[in-house]
Structure 1
Amino acid sequence: MSPLDLLAAAQPFAFDLLERTASTPRVQAVVQQSLAPAFLLGAIGAIMNVIMSRMIWIAGRIERIEEMGEEAHTERCRRELQWLSRRRRSAQRAISFATAAAVNISLVIGFGFLAAYIEAKIGSLIAFLWVLTMVLLVTGLVHFLHETRLAAMGFGKGD
């Protein structure tokens, strides 16, 4: 099949797509329906910003301790490094799950627009992605809660 044949075959599809998306009220309705997921995406971004700030502090503290050299590491430094490593793992998991939730909610928005212009019924897929987004977000928040509890308890318990 030549490139011209492909263009000729795609032409009816392109015109059909243009005709379906030309309706301003339809586009406005889809945009309105995507507002809640878009606000959720913004909230996930804000949460990730807070987690990343904490992660940067943890990584900086680990670097400062490791720069002291192995001979300067006391038992207290070793305990702090273990505590910081646990915090870093929790923060990394929180970021991973929050990122997955952000990707998922972006798919919800994209599929929402697609659903307005195709005949296939993908409402169940969109609902599943929405629920999966909530599961991922809650899982990320649980890991963030764990990290903040570790921070609040401190590493020096029993000193």
Structure 2
Amino acid sequence: MNAFGILVAAQPFAFDILERTASTPQVQAVVQQSLAPAFLLGAIGAIMNVIMSRMIWIAGRIERIEEMHAETQTERAARELAWLERRRRAAQRAISFATAAAVNISLVIGLVFLAAYIKAKIGSLIAFLWVLTMVLLVTGLVHFLHETRLAARGFTRDG
């Protein structure tokens, strides 16, 4: 099939999509339905910003310690590096789960729009992805809590 044939075959589908999306009230309703997931996406972004700030501080501290103690590594520096590595791993896991939650909620937003214009019922899929987003977000927050608890305890007690 040549390019012209593809365009002719796609024409009824394109007109069908245009007809379904021409209703301003329907588009407004879909936008309203996507507001909650969009606000959640913004909140996830804010959480990720806080975690990344801590991650940058940890990475900088690791670099400074390694530079200061390049020739001779003291026991104190070794303990602090081990503590910082535990914090870094917890923060990385928190970022990974929060990023997965952000990707997931973005899919939810896209599917909410898609569901308004297709005949297939995908409400169960949207609900599942919403719940999965919350599980990913809570898991990321648990890792962030772990990192903040490590920070609050300090490295001297970790031994």
Is this a same-fold pair by TM over 0.5? yes
Corresponding pairs, count:
159
TM-score, normalising length: structure 1: 0.98
Deviations 1:115-155 (A, max 9, x none): 00000000010000000000000000000000000000000
> Distance in 2 between the 1:99 and 1:29 partners?
28
Which residue of structure 2 lines up, in the alignment, with residue 109 of structure 1? 109
Q: Percent identity?
A: 84
Offset from partner CA, 1:25-67 (integer Å, 9 cap, x none): 0000000011100000000000000000000000000000111
Amino acid of the structure 1 residue aligned with 2:34: S
Shift of 1:158: 7.4
Shift of 1:7: 0.5
Cα distance in structure 2, aligned partners of 1:116 and 1:110: 10
After superposing on structure 2, the runs of 4+ consecutive aligned residues of structure 1 that deviate more than 6 Å are none
Deviation at 1:73, TM superposition (A): 1.6
Counterpart amino acid of residue 45 in structure 1: G
Aligned CA distance change for structure 1 residues 15 and 86 (closer, same or farther; 3 Å): same
Gap regions ≥5 residues in structure 1: none
**CA 27–158 in structure 1, closer or farther in 2 if over 3 Å, else same:** closer
Residue 157 of structure 1 deviates from its aligned partner by 1.5
Amino acid in structure 2 at the alignment position of 1:85:
E
- 1:15-94 alignment runs, 5 A limit: 15-94=15-94
RMSD over aligned Cα atoms: 1.1
Give how far 1:12 is off.
Answer: 0.4
Return the offset for 1:72: 3.1
**Where does residue 6 of structure 2 map in the other structure?**
6
Consecutive unaligned residues of structure 2, counting only runs of 5 or more, are none
Q: 2:63 & 2:12 partners in 1: Cα distance?
A: 60
Structure-2 separation of matches of 1:9 and 1:142:
51
1:72 counterpart SS class: coil
- Contact 2:90–2:143 (CA under 8 A) maintained in structure 1: yes
Are residue 95 (structure 1) and residue 95 (structure 2) matched?
yes
Q: How far apart in 2 are the matches of 1:8 and 1:78?
A: 70
The change in CA–CA distance for 1:61 and 1:23 in structure 2 (over 3 A counts) is same
